[in-house]
Structure 1
């Protein structure tokens, strides 16, 4: 799945810390008329995303709603308004909306002069010994050579590093076609932020560091850049995700493809995976949109915390990297669950 750890910007940058669950959640029932922009949204697009995972939500009421959703594909707004109620869940922490994306690299199934940086399958001993070899030892030593563990070769070691941070992505293959790769495991070493390391060295101030700044600095300083990447001893291994066609979105936490602009990662302690969630946020990518909670992430903690899946490739990465906004999200709960959640607080 695409969300095994942090979104790439959260993992690389030093400015964000996940909020603690500081207060007992408070639920407030809202009306659909209180959702800014509700009437103007594309409810059919939201229903399509909902149908992708609704059959995997536990509960007889969800099973019934999934059947009703299929029967209301010609009236999607009516479906949501008839069978759900908007519930605002707050836990005392400030709202925060960030973005994540699926990287896209250029690669080849066989090594060439250009494509010479391998993505590796997980070796058997790394499954048994933790921590295993460090990033430096794996890339400099003989741990992986001659074992046939190369999954695919890419043309950029910096992008390969970023792919490991993100944990999954898509590789456009030389000669046509594509391969989707997913997280298979890691070497057991804790992640160290290279963004924080650049700040600690005095190379940049904290506010200057971004994924693109790191890329450019490593490419301008290849020897020092390699040492910088080795500062992070954690190393991720991959597997080919053949059950998901390359034209579809990557797998989320529900083991289904997620949808750009309609899928979000949430904290399942507050939001049932598969639930519709109304998102209102401004900033670089202003949104008034019904989205579906289909993913999770270790950095996504809190009732008003969400990570928005922007899409695949460099442009999606640029958008995701600029997203750090306030706003609010409102969970659409099945009617009985909505009223039950209020009764629990009495």
Structure 2
């Protein structure tokens, strides 16, 4: 998980838009800008994002469709949004104030969807798992720290940065796959903590962070550190392709249940995904850290593909959220409309048709994240009347 800064000569650009993955909707196409969460969480997430924007180089700019905005205008946009939010207006007044002061851009959505702007919205969360700092008869499945052998180098064939290691011949080659690491025990000595269940370990690789309860009762947070550089492959898609379950059934709870009911197939299925994640302790403990280096805010932080969608602005998400009973049974789905911040990335989150909502931790978060694969729309907000930054746009767009 890294911040992707794409440069046009000396100008850092946030949000790469070669295929113009943003639409400019008409006013009557914009939904009511209501928010189904508390304002405190939104203020927290927005303030964190404001701090992030302030750390960017002064000449940073952002592409939104055909328009380009400077860092100063991004800061002013976020500050204006916070100022409006703190006025504590009625929902209708707030909606009107945002429409009057901001231009909205919409993610163009999935390429295979006939309806422009339709996206697949999924969720992720912070699992709580039992673990041990030492291997014993119960805890035998390790999470690993980043090994010293992991290298980042320029692939001479593709001319792109890649991840690998140096073999005994001195050649730089792709790093080992999940199967090679786990079957060959190739990372002995790099163990961070041990878990009981290989499925739990795999889920933690997918979620990217979690909390570990040790035998003495203490709680420690683990955080994404690096990957082996291999491409992510979905085990849910594998099970659907093999007709083990339908596309609708392929949720995390159902996949987990299948793996536990078919232990003989576990290794083959888990090893279908060659991507392997390395971890580190998160000393802050309050919340997982996203790819922008910011603590994630439950219900407010989303993961997007920074190669196609912008990370420097406020966003607005329209989708569905689950309603569950006290026993954890999923009762129904209801409308979800809220302001969110693009503060993270994910291996499976690719293109302008995907977004992943961080649900936080706890029982509801696990159920929501595990079951969510809903249609939705995502809008990005920038303050209107960016006239004083036209010279920035002129310099950028005039470059060959």
TM-score, scaled relative to structure 2: 0.67
Task: Please tell me whether residue 97 in structure 1 is matched to residue 121 in structure 2.
Answer: yes
Residue 133 of structure 1 aligns to a residue in which SS? coil
Compute the displacement of 1:158 (Å): 0.8
Cα distance in 1 between the residues matched to 2:23 and 2:218 = 49
- Aligned position for 1:139: 182
The within-5 A match list for 1:151-300 is 151-242=192-283, 244-245=284-285, 248-268=286-306, 272-282=310-320, 284-300=333-349
> Which stretch of the first structure deviates more once superposed, 63-72 or 189-198?
63-72
Aligned equivalent of 2:87, options 58, 72, 75: 75
Conserved 8 A contact 1:2-1:102: no
Residue 311 of structure 2 aligns to a residue in which SS? coil
Residue 56 of structure 1 aligns to a residue in which SS? helix
- Aligned position for 1:319: 368
User: Number of residue pairs matched?
Assistant: 322
Task: Please tell me whether residue 308 in structure 1 is matched to residue 357 in structure 2.
Answer: yes
Residue 176 of structure 1 aligns to a residue in which SS? coil
Aligned equivalent of 1:56, options 45, 52, 55: 52
The structure with the largest helix share of the pair is: 1
Q: Deviations over 1:60-105 (max 9, x none)?
A: 2344566667777852558993794141435344233222222222
Unaligned runs of 5+ in 1: 5-19
Compute the displacement of 1:151 (Å): 0.5
Compute the displacement of 1:27 (Å): 1.7
- Aligned position for 2:324: none
Compute the displacement of 1:196 (Å): 3.3
Residue 61 of structure 1 aligns to a residue in which SS? helix
- Aligned position for 1:107: 131
- Say if 1:138 and 1:279 are closer, same or farther in 2 by CA, change over 3 A: closer
Cα distance in 2 between the residues matched to 1:51 and 1:305 = 25
Conserved 8 A contact 2:208-2:223: yes
Q: Deviations over 1:267-309 (max 9, x none)?
A: 4466542422222223525212222222233544555643211
> Which stretch of the first structure deviates more once superposed, 130-139 or 153-162?
130-139
- Say if 1:22 and 1:164 are closer, same or farther in 2 by CA, change over 3 A: same
Q: Deviations over 1:236-282 (max 9, x none)?
A: 2222222x22xx22112221111111122234466542422222223
Residue 311 of structure 1 aligns to a residue in which SS? coil
Q: Deviations over 1:107-143 (max 9, x none)?
A: 1222333222211112222432443333333323342
Q: Deviations over 1:22-74 (max 9, x none)?
A: 6664324649x964263876444322210012122242234456666777785
The structure with the largest strand share of the pair is: 2
Compute the displacement of 1:200 (Å): 4.2
Tell me: higher relative CO, structure 1 or 2? Use CA pairs within 8 A at least 6 residues apart: 1
Compute the displacement of 1:160 (Å): 0.3
- Say if 1:301 and 1:27 are closer, same or farther in 2 by CA, change over 3 A: farther
TM-score, scaled relative to structure 1: 0.76
- Aligned position for 1:36: 32
Aligned equivalent of 1:27, options 24, 27, 34: 24
Conserved 8 A contact 2:139-2:195: yes
- Aligned position for 1:14: none
Compute the displacement of 1:173 (Å): 2.3
> Which stretch of the first structure deviates more once superposed, 158-167 or 321-330?
321-330
